[in-house]
Amino acid sequence: MLKFMKRTACVLLTLGLLATGAQAKTVTPNSGPPGSWRVLGTTHANHSRDHDTIEVRGPYDNFRKLKFRVKDAPLNMQRMVVTYDNGGRDEIQVRYNIPQGGESRIIDLRGAGKRSLRRVDFWYDTRGMGRGNADVTLFGMK
């Protein structure tokens, strides 16, 4: 019985460690008029991960600008990679300390015409923040 309990504990620990990697959140944005902000997804940034992914599904996935809003704890946003439906990618150095309850700067996406998003990967640093985990919401403007 003791061997079974140890083995079960090892399996649960391994699964927990695997779950701490980047996890993709898939969202389908709502339609809306140009110039309006739409929620593209929310993730929970904690001390055991350093990046997350938000996958964006159509049909309402064309955006010109992005921004992040942070709740519950401050966050140091390092960089992000935006992947478009056509396979193109933009790596954007954000390097911005977002205070608890604050927002990042507005990030203009390059190019003209349709910028159909497939996914947004972003890297952050929670070390030294010391005030818990942050809820990070990504917004897009059409």
Query: CA–CA separation, 23 vs 76, rounded Å?
Result: 19
**Domain-located, residue 42:** yes
* Banded model confidence at residue 59, pLDDT cuts 50, 70, 90: confident
Q: Among 23-37, 67-81, 83-97, which stretch is predicted with the lowest mean pLDDT?
A: 23-37
**Domain-located, residue 8:** no
CB of 72 within 8 A of CB of 135?
yes
> Which has the higher per-residue pLDDT, 112 or 99?
99
The CATH number given to whatever domain includes residue 96 is 2.60.120.1300
Peptide bond into 34 cis (omega under 30): no
Mean pLDDT of the chain: 78
* Banded model confidence at residue 23, pLDDT cuts 50, 70, 90: low
**Domain-located, residue 34:** yes
Return the closest-CA partner of residue 56 out of 3, 117, 98, 7: 117
**Domain-located, residue 80:** yes
Q: In this predicted structure, what is the pLDDT of residue 33?
A: 79
**Domain-located, residue 115:** yes
Query: CA–CA separation, 38 vs 30, rounded Å?
Result: 7
DSSP for residue 34? T
Q: In this predicted structure, what is the pLDDT of residue 15?
A: 35
**Domain-located, residue 5:** no
Number of domains into which the chain is organized: 1
* Banded model confidence at residue 36, pLDDT cuts 50, 70, 90: confident
For residue 40, what are the domain limits?
22-141
